[in-house]
Structure 1
Amino acid sequence: MRFSVLASGSSGNAIYVENDEHSFLVDVGLSGKKMEQLFAEIDRDMKNLSGILVTHEHSDHIKGLGVVARKYNVPIFANAKTWGAMDGLVGNIPSDLRYHFDMETVKTYGGLDIQSFAVSHDAADPMFYTFQQDGRKLVVITDTGYVSDRMKGYIAAADAYVFESNHDVSMLQMGKYPWSIKRRILSDVGHVSNEDAAVAMADVVAEKPTQIYLAHLSKDNNMKELARMSVTQTLESCGIITGEYLNLHDTDANSPTRLVTI
């Protein structure tokens, strides 16, 4: 199993996952032209995609969804409420490209098990995904206001995580956003902070080589260096030293991480 965080941040999100037989996108939050550029950078072609897995209907996750699906004839998977919420946002999607992926279910493709699980976010029915093959596990979890015990059960003991580390609380509180938006971000249906993300990480990581990609950083209320420092310090306070078995990695809003095998 291989993956790349093609882009992650407030402006757009897309994650690529493949095995030897199938390849998937989690979300298409950037323009079709930008997606083609990102795929070229990891030496892949969207015409070979097996499907697109939608997490929720916010624009930074579906901006290029309709364009990419129609141009490359790619099946789209989403739950019923998300399909309903996307009506009018992604253009006309042919019926033969519309598929349902129910909450907390598993679909299997060539030995790759994809499981959906619920998160807490202000969308119609938001859900994210785990990918498992040959005893290896990748978790994608962003856009959640907190990480519940139920979520932790789905994401525990993975080999790699794409994990939200959205904001620094002080930067957010002192920043330019209206109070209504600050309150939304800080709420249980908003986004997790650097420190809250690290506390959740400490609860789910196992003592084995683990790669964590810090994702969905706010362009106004966070910085890569700050996110890494905050997560590192909070993990250390929980008794986990980064660089031993757990390693942190940056993601970027405009360029992909290298294609990694787990």
Structure 2
Amino acid sequence: MRLCSVASGSSGNCIYAGVNDTHVMIDAGISGKKIEQGLNEIGLQTKDIQGIVITHEHIDHVKGLGVLARKFEIPIYGTRGTIQAVRNISSLGRFPDGLFHEIKEDESFQIHEIHIKPFAVSHDAVQPVSYVMEHEGSSFGVVTDLGMYDDYTIEKLKGLDALLLEANHDVRMLQTGKYPYYLKQRILGARGHLSNEVSGQLLCEILHDKLKYVLLGHLSKENNYEELAYETVCSEITLGDNQYRANDFSIQIAKRDGISELVEF
């Protein structure tokens, strides 16, 4: 399996996943031109994509969806609530008939060779999900845009080979920053975003010998920076109540406006 972040951050999100001749995207929150440029860097074109799975309807996850749908007619997968919300975003334009495919939380589906498991997350969207993808015993998760995790979340993320996980903000930067009070409360709330610390705590719950690669994503431009996110998550792992240390795994940062390393496992 292959995993790569084309863009990940509060200004736009697009993740590539593939195996053999199957190529899918998780979200399309940047322009079609930037998606094409990112895919070109790993030897692909947008026309190679066979499906787009959407986590939720916020514009930083669907900005390029309308253009891709009309130009390439790529099938789009999302929950009923997400599909309805996407259809209501006027800036995305008209979608060709028959491209949307409704999925449900905790019900697996297939895009060619990739087995996909959507699961519910706590976020201020209509019906948001995150995804675990599997192929012949290998698996990875893409988990962003959630304000909290629980035993259900932990159970869904056990046994992965790789994980792209949100580390959105530093709590102190957010609290003392320029955001208005209501927005700070939204981000800090149970339907907001994971802080660096909580991201590290979630990792402590799911670390195991098989996990090879962790990519920290969806960093806030205003309330985080790469070194702080990395060091905070590493500290939570190393000082946490578990048998692992941060240097037992490859931990990297997904850039907001650039493609990450293509990971194969």
TM-score category by the smaller chain?
over 0.9
Match in the other structure for 1:261 = 264
Answering whether residue 163 of structure 2 is matched by residue 165 of structure 1, we say no
Counterparts of 1:20 and 1:56, CA distance in 2: 27
Two-structure CA RMSD over aligned residues (Å): 1.1
Match in the other structure for 1:51 = 51
Matched pairs, number: 261
Counterparts of 1:109 and 1:93, CA distance in 2: 20
Answering whether residue 262 of structure 2 is matched by residue 251 of structure 1, we say no
Structure 1's unaligned 5+ residue stretches are: none
Q: 2:151 aligns with which of 139, 149, 152?
A: 149
Query: Partner of 2:109: helix, strand, or coil?
Result: strand
Is the CA contact 2:22–2:113 (under 8 Å) kept in the aligned structure 1? no
- Write out per-residue CA displacement over residues 129-149 of structure 1, whole angstroms, 9 at most, x where no aligned residue: 001112111000000001111
* Aligned-pair CA distance for 1:88: 2.9
Taking structure 1 as reference, are residues 110 and 84 closer, same or farther at Cα in structure 2, changes over 3 Å only?
closer
- Write out per-residue CA displacement over residues 4-47 of structure 1, whole angstroms, 9 at most, x where no aligned residue: 11100010000001111311110000011111111112221110
Where do 1:21-100 residues align within 5 Å? 21-89=21-89, 90-100=92-102
Counterparts of 1:125 and 1:54, CA distance in 2: 11
* Aligned-pair CA distance for 1:208: 2.8
Percent identity between the aligned chains?
A: 38
Counterparts of 1:109 and 1:118, CA distance in 2: 20
Is the CA contact 1:42–1:258 (under 8 Å) kept in the aligned structure 2? no
Query: Partner of 2:247: helix, strand, or coil?
Result: coil
* Aligned-pair CA distance for 1:210: 2.2
Counterparts of 1:31 and 1:232, CA distance in 2: 32
Counterparts of 1:169 and 1:209, CA distance in 2: 27
Counterparts of 2:178 and 2:197, CA distance in 1: 21
Structure 2's unaligned 5+ residue stretches are: none
* Aligned-pair CA distance for 1:209: 4.1
Match in the other structure for 2:178 = 176
Query: Partner of 1:243: helix, strand, or coil?
Result: helix
Answering whether residue 133 of structure 2 is matched by residue 131 of structure 1, we say yes
Aligned letter for 2:173? M
* Aligned-pair CA distance for 1:110: 4.0
Match in the other structure for 2:214 = 212
Match in the other structure for 1:117 = 119
Is the CA contact 2:39–2:45 (under 8 Å) kept in the aligned structure 1? yes
Q: 2:225 aligns with which of 209, 223, 226?
A: 223
Query: Partner of 1:16: helix, strand, or coil?
Result: strand
Counterparts of 2:80 and 2:185, CA distance in 1: 28
Is the CA contact 1:42–1:256 (under 8 Å) kept in the aligned structure 2? no
Counterparts of 2:262 and 2:209, CA distance in 1: 24
* Aligned-pair CA distance for 1:85: 1.0
Match in the other structure for 1:195 = 197
Taking structure 1 as reference, are residues 82 and 110 closer, same or farther at Cα in structure 2, changes over 3 Å only?
closer
* Aligned-pair CA distance for 1:112: 2.1
* Aligned-pair CA distance for 1:153: 0.7
Query: Partner of 1:96: helix, strand, or coil?
Result: coil
